[in-house]
Structure 1
Amino acid sequence: MVVALVAGILLVLGTTVDRRPPQPSADQAFSTPSAGLAAPPAHPAVPPLPRSVPVRLRIPAIGVDASLARLGLDGAGALKPPPEGDTGLAGWYGGGTAPGSRGTAVTTGHVDTRDGRRGVFYRLGAVTKGETVEVGRADGRTAVFTVDAVEVYDKDGFPSEKVYGGSGRPELRVITCGGRAGNGGYRGNVVVYATLTAVREPGGRAVER
């Protein structure tokens, strides 16, 4: 399943346009590089939430406020991307962890489209450590994740276990295309690593749990 997810994101979302989207700087990577599991978060995680379908994803620092579509796998076992025609739509892997629950939840979206329009995650590479990703859920809660690192990988060196591996904490990955651009699309991915650090209850009351 891990390999299928990687292949789907790299190949299906791989388009390119004349201008390159922002790419993360080396300062935003984990301080101790590793090909294994992601490093522990710099801030304490809070207890996981019961499973609930995510409906909206917000990244205030880059102006993202997107509906979330449930994504599955295609016949080849690759993750289907959100429809390219809706540039404001993101998706989450519905066969895995729901954001806020225990484990690693995966969300993804287009960086741009084949006809040159910016996708929902065009500025994902500009996200920095300490910023937040908010996921609104069907149960009325908002899971608030704090960014631990932002890294970019070439397709040939994509660290599947590090990106998708579970730590027992409620974690989130936000993924789009990035890295080198070549014939046929981008040759890598930008990955945001984030950990659940707060929960906003219905009505807006924040709980550090």
Structure 2
Amino acid sequence: MLPHSVPTRIDIPAIDVHHTLITLGQNPDGSVQVPSLDDVAVPGWARFSPTPGEQGPAVIVGHVDSAEHGAGVFFRLGDLRPGDTFTVGRADGTVAEFTITGVDRYAKDAFPTLAVYGNTRQAEARLITCGGSFNPDTGNYTDNIVAYARLTGSRPAPTP
């Protein structure tokens, strides 16, 4: 496991994601804040979760799409498979390396909060986006896609 260090970027080669990360908070109701729909290409790390590489589930969220801007950063999140890898660059100059262990789809009204956000004994990550059917009446998707991953290594970040 790694010490606390704010994540700065994410790279998921299997779904062609290469982007800097923003830091997100919580909404007044306690739910996870999501990135602005003004730029659906931007993923964010939930600052109430561990930093990637620390013990527990680091939470990174991104949009699947928007009517105005098209495909979002996590448009292909559901295409990830166990064994796929991704990295998270950290402010301390290290890169945390993760391996996907599973990808699940949950109805929003049956979201397994404890399974996704609950404490773990290892350093893990959760990549989250919307999925399922789009409900035009509510303007929301019916489901969430969650990719589960575990820390499998770390290395110094390449120097520019």
TM-score by length of structure 2 reads 0.92
Larger Rg: 1
Could you say which residue in structure 1 is the equivalent of 2:142?
A: 187
Contact 2:89 2:157 in 1 (8 A): no
Match of 1:196 among 144, 151, 154: 151
Code of the residue aligned with 2:8 in structure 1: it is V
Uncovered stretches (5+) of structure 1, i.e. residues with no partner:
1-47, 205-209
Cα distance in 1 between the residues matched to 2:157 and 2:33: 31
Aligned CA-pair RMSD: 1.4
Query: Which deviates further from its counterpart, 58-67 or 84-93?
Result: 84-93
Could you say which residue in structure 2 is the equivalent of 1:31?
A: none
Total equivalences in the alignment: 157
Cα distance in 2 between the residues matched to 1:105 and 1:202: 19
Match of 2:96 among 131, 143, 146: 143
1:171 aligns with 2:135: no
Code of the residue aligned with 2:63 in structure 1: it is H
Cα distance, 1:116 vs structure 2:
4.8
1:108-160 Cα deviation digits (max 9, x unpaired): 01100131511100111111110012100011111000000001011122111
Could you say which residue in structure 2 is the equivalent of 1:7?
A: none
TM-score by length of structure 1 reads 0.72
Contact 2:40 2:69 in 1 (8 A): no
Highest RCO, 1 vs 2 (Cα 8 Å, sep ≥ 6): 1
The share of aligned pairs that are identical, in percent, is 45
Query: Which deviates further from its counterpart, 188-197 or 109-118?
Result: 109-118
1:97-112 aligned at under 5 Å gives the runs 97-112=50-65
1:71 aligns with 2:24: yes
Secondary structure at the counterpart of residue 83 of structure 1:
coil
Cα distance in 1 between the residues matched to 2:128 and 2:157: 28
Cα distance in 1 between the residues matched to 2:60 and 2:158: 25
Contact 1:134 1:145 in 2 (8 A): yes
1:1-209 aligned at under 5 Å gives the runs 48-183=1-136, 184-203=139-158
